[in-house]
Structure 1
Amino acid sequence: MKTFFITATGTGVGKTYVTAALVADLADRGRSVRVLKPVISGFDETNPQGSDTAVLLRSLGQPLTPEAIDACSPWRFSEPLSPDMAARHEGRAIDFAALVEFCRGARAGDEDVLLIEAVGGAMVPLDDSHTVLDWMADLGAPVVVVAGSYLGTLSHTLTTVSALRERDIDIAAVVVDESEDSPVLISETVDTLARFLPGLTLISLMRNADRASIHAALEAIIGE
């Protein structure tokens, strides 16, 4: 099974949008897909329809049942905080070893591709001693870094890539997702990143892109 881990330079830059786009594109190519968002904060158990988990399940064409939610996002927390804080406020803690083992178990499935969407940015704490970066390093899957095109994204993106490279994590691509408040054309952001990240696959993804444009943009990640 081919596996990709989707992380980001921060919260709210478009991880779920990109993950759902990857699911749809893989389906268009006739690939079977499993998608996980194992850890999620800000999850309203009384109204799961508006959650990232719901977006991902809809992209798979799956109903939003309690069983499907549990299978996709077993570590759910109600407050929109970093996972370590959200868990602590509920008197809980994320078992890091169990989280890694859960993802490894999913890699033994029958699907063609497994997509694992992380929580927050690459350095977000999961517990008292582990971050998302540790999670990525332990899994060893190629990583897709999602960035925005907002003011400040250049520093955030270069810092994230540097942190991943320090841990010898394979970066499949950096996807620059168009931000609503972008001060410049997304192409300028990508061109600047390309000067500092030679040899790294950089992809720009417009928010209102049609299916064909998304298909072409994600080709470098998925391949035929």
Structure 2
Amino acid sequence: MTRYFITGTGTGIGKSYFSALFAQKLTAEGQTVRYIKPVATGFPEDDDAAFVAKQAGLTAADAVTLYTAAEPASPCFVFDPFPFAECVGRIEALSADRDAVLVESAGGLAVPLGQRRYNYHFALELGLEVILVVPNRLGCLSDAIVYGHFAKRHKLALSAIALNDHFAANAREADRNAAVIAEHYTSQTMYRFDAAFM
């Protein structure tokens, strides 16, 4: 079994769209897939699990959200406290019978959950391979490099960069950014996708 933590440099950058595409890819390779959103705020208007299920052709049982809040805010503002240990246990239980598990963060890599816990603690606690989604736009080089250093400092297993070309002003800028990021991440897989999801 391979387990991935799909996170990013922020919110509204295409993590759920990439999750759906990645789930489709793994399913086409013959793997059984489960998508898990540990926490979703702005719910149910913003229901990433339902979106991923529909786009990737997963059943409702294979695209699940564990904890929800109506307010579209950082989890640290809407949970008191956030049930981190319980959440990790539920992810473990849901991971047991699938070839691949995709765990998607709410917001970016360092979003606080509360009580000195952050999104990246899911990857550490569960030993997940990290896929960092980066919007391909002005400023993305700094974001990608800084987040890479952050991942290394916290001993995260950064396995891939997923560059969302939807944000690029034009193909030339998109390709230039991708080339520089690829030079910095020679040991990681580079995915490029174009997700119009707003």
- TM-score in terms of structure 1 length: 0.79
Greater mean deviation of Cα atoms: 97-106 or 34-43: 97-106
| Counterpart position of 1:60 | 57
Q: CA deviation at 1:147?
A: 0.6
Which protein has the bigger strand share? 2
Greater mean deviation of Cα atoms: 197-206 or 75-84: 197-206
Superposed, 1:1-224 pairs within 5 Å as 1-44=1-44, 51-58=47-54, 59-63=56-60, 68=61, 72-87=64-79, 92-109=80-97, 111-180=98-167, 182=169, 185-207=173-195
Query: Structure 2: which 5+ residue stretches go unaligned?
Result: none
In the alignment, residue 198 of structure 1 is paired with which amino acid? Answer: T
In 2, Cα distance between equivalents of 1:57 and 1:203: 21
Q: CA deviation at 1:52?
A: 1.2
In 1, Cα distance between equivalents of 2:191 and 2:100: 20
**Which has more radius of gyration?**
1
CA 1:2–1:185 in structure 2 vs 1: closer, same or farther (change >3 Å)?
A: same
CA displacement, residues 9-59 of structure 1 (integer Å, 9 cap, x when unaligned)? 111111000000011122222221111112111113xxx5x5212112222
In the alignment, residue 18 of structure 1 is paired with which amino acid? Answer: F
In the alignment, residue 150 of structure 1 is paired with which amino acid? Answer: R
CA 1:203–1:181 in structure 2 vs 1: closer, same or farther (change >3 Å)?
A: closer
Query: Structure 1: which 5+ residue stretches go unaligned?
Result: 209-224
Q: Alignment partner of 1:72: what SS? A: strand
In 1, Cα distance between equivalents of 2:136 and 2:18: 14
In 2, Cα distance between equivalents of 1:168 and 1:60: 34
The total of aligned residue pairs comes to 194
In 2, Cα distance between equivalents of 1:112 and 1:61: 14
CA displacement, residues 76-135 of structure 1 (integer Å, 9 cap, x when unaligned)? 011111111133xxxx431111122222222222x2111111110000001131001222
Q: Percent identity?
A: 27
CA contact (8 A) 1:8 1:147 kept: yes
CA displacement, residues 163-199 of structure 1 (integer Å, 9 cap, x when unaligned)? 1111221111001011335465321111111233333
In the alignment, residue 70 of structure 2 is paired with which amino acid? Answer: S
In 1, Cα distance between equivalents of 2:168 and 2:175: 15
In 2, Cα distance between equivalents of 1:149 and 1:138: 29
In 2, Cα distance between equivalents of 1:169 and 1:80: 27
CA 1:158–1:105 in structure 2 vs 1: closer, same or farther (change >3 Å)?
A: same
CA 1:54–1:187 in structure 2 vs 1: closer, same or farther (change >3 Å)?
A: same
In the alignment, residue 116 of structure 2 is paired with which amino acid? Answer: S
Q: Which runs of 4+ in 1 moved over 6 A?
A: none
Q: CA deviation at 1:202?
A: 2.0
